[in-house]
Amino acid sequence: MDLTRFVQERRADWERLDTLVKHADRALPRLGRLDLRELGALYRQASSDLARAQAAHADAEILDYLNHIVVRAHGVIYRPEPARLRTLGLFFAREFPALVRQEWRPIVLAVLVSTLPALWFVLMAALDPAFVEAVAPPGMRERLDRGELWVYRINPVRPLASSFIMTNNITVTFTFFALGIAFGAGTLWGLVSNGIHFGSTAMVVNQTRMAREFWAFVVPHGVLEIPAIYIGGGAGFILGAALLFPGDLTRKDALVVRGRAAVKLVLGCVPILVVAGIIEAFVSPLPPGSMPLGTKFLVGAALFALLLLYLLRAGSPGKAGNH
């Protein structure tokens, strides 16, 4: 191979590739379709040229130059596409709340499945006071009667507690979603268990003098955390329904199709749970001397109103995407 002629014939393409790579490094999305196609073609040709030059023992200067632009072009073509903040913003601003409205049925089912056991505990306590003693954890009633509310233990370790709370709540929500793969039975069990635990705790606390302080702790973050968990449970029921009632599709295809909506629902809950975790660590456990109980209820009411406004008004049903 005549190396001098080879370099003369190919240099213009190498320089063009170098120019496109430099431009792509500055603003890849601004490259037109034809430029992107040319970039790919020139990269493949330059890779072939590099192999030929190596086989012909070309000068080190030529090899270094070719290797440099081939490596840079490879990095441009095969680098992962950066997450687009605009796309992410549109998802949370429009698609997620619209999807919540569209999939209201499984979400309402999750609400009922979780709240009915809690209400049953409250009813049983009203009918039979001895029932409270039967289900209360040992020593819990006595500690509450002494004015010892466990939620105040968060205050000395707020930053650590916030991280733990966020992780725990996100894990619970994703677990309720994932358990839907067991034909919805796993999600059903998780939500019922959650309702029983909360209902029994609230029932015991309500019969002590710490009831108002307990609810002042629950309300500020609970108005965000609990709806998010219900949405995650609704996502789990979507998976279960796809397996139980696939319609004209196979169960596998139905799971893929309906699973898209379910995944989007549970992912949309993450920011809500992050905010709830921050509030649960830094606002909810503040003692009455630091924040009046009435203020905590007002914070909860304001956050719940904002959440409802977001979920019921933001976006458009037509933006929810295909399922």
**Stretch (H or E) spanning 283:** none
The amino acid at 163: S
Lowest-confidence segment of 73-77, 97-101, 174-178 by average pLDDT: 73-77
User: How would residue 29 be classed by pLDDT, with cut points 50, 70 and 90?
Assistant: low
CB atoms within 10 A of CB 21: 22
For 190-229, the pLDDT digits (tens) are: 999 998 888 888 888 887 888 899 999 999 999 999 999 9
* 30, pLDDT greater than 70: no
The alpha-helical segments, DSSP class H, found in the chain are: 3-27, 33-55, 60-78, 85-90, 96-102, 104-127, 130-135, 140-145, 158-178, 185-206, 211-244, 251-282, 293-313
Q: How far is CA 47 from CA 5, 14, 53, 69, 218, in A?
A: 18, 10, 10, 9, 63
Ordered by start, the domain boundaries in the chain are 3-78, 85-319
Read off the pTM.
0.70
- Reduced to 3 states, what is the DSSP secondary structure of residue 154? helix
> Distance (Å, rounded) from C-alpha 5 to C-alpha 28?
33
pLDDT at 19 over 70: yes
pLDDT above 90: percentage of residues in the chain: 40
Burial bucket for residue 236 (CB in 10 Å: 0-12, 13-18, 19+): buried
Average pLDDT on 225-249 reads 94
Q: Is the pLDDT of residue 291 over 50?
A: yes
pLDDT band at 106 (very low <50, low <70, confident <90, very high): very high
- Locate 319 and state its tokens: 């933006």
Residue with tokens 């979920």: 311
